Copies of this chain bind each other. A is one copy, B any other.
Amino acid sequence: MEQLSPTAYVILGLVRNEPRSGYEIKAVVDNSTRFFWAASYGQIYPELKNLAEAGLIVGSDSPTGGRRRTVYEITADGEEELRAWLRQPPHTFEMREEGLLKLFFADALPPGEAVAIVRAMRAHRLEVNAQLRSIEALKGEIDDPYPMIVLRGGIEFTQWFADWCERMEEEILAAAPKERSS
Count of chain A residues with Cβ under 8 Å from any Cβ of B? 62
A6 CA to B83 CA, complexed, in Å: 37
Q: For the complex formed, measure the closest distance between the CB of A56 and the CB atoms of chain B, giving whole angstroms.
A: 13
Interface of A is mostly: helix
Could you tell me which residues of chain A, from 112 to 128, have a CB within 8 Å of some CB in chain B? Answer: 113-114, 116-117, 120-121, 124, 128
A96 CA to B91 CA, complexed, in Å: 10
Give the residue of B79, B97, B147 whose beta carbon is less than 8 angstroms from that of A37: B97
Beyond A36-B96, A90-B120, A101-B36, whether A146 also contacts B13 by CB under 8 A is no
Q: Does A100 contact B (CB under 8 A)?
A: yes
Could you tell me which residues of chain A, from 38 to 56, have a CB within 8 Å of some CB in chain B? Answer: 38
> When the two chains form their complex, are residues B101 and A9 in contact, meaning their CB atoms are under 8 A apart?
yes
Q: Does A138 contact B (CB under 8 A)?
A: no
A93 CA to B154 CA, complexed, in Å: 14
Q: For the complex formed, measure the closest distance between the CB of A172 and the CB atoms of chain B, giving whole angstroms.
A: 8
> When the two chains form their complex, are residues B101 and A33 in contact, meaning their CB atoms are under 8 A apart?
yes
Q: Does A98 contact B (CB under 8 A)?
A: yes
Q: List 17 A-B contacts (CB under 8 A).
A: A16-B105, A35-B95, A37-B97, A82-B105, A85-B102, A86-B106, A86-B109, A90-B120, A92-B98, A94-B94, A103-B150, A104-B146, A106-B146, A153-B164, A157-B161, A157-B164, A160-B160
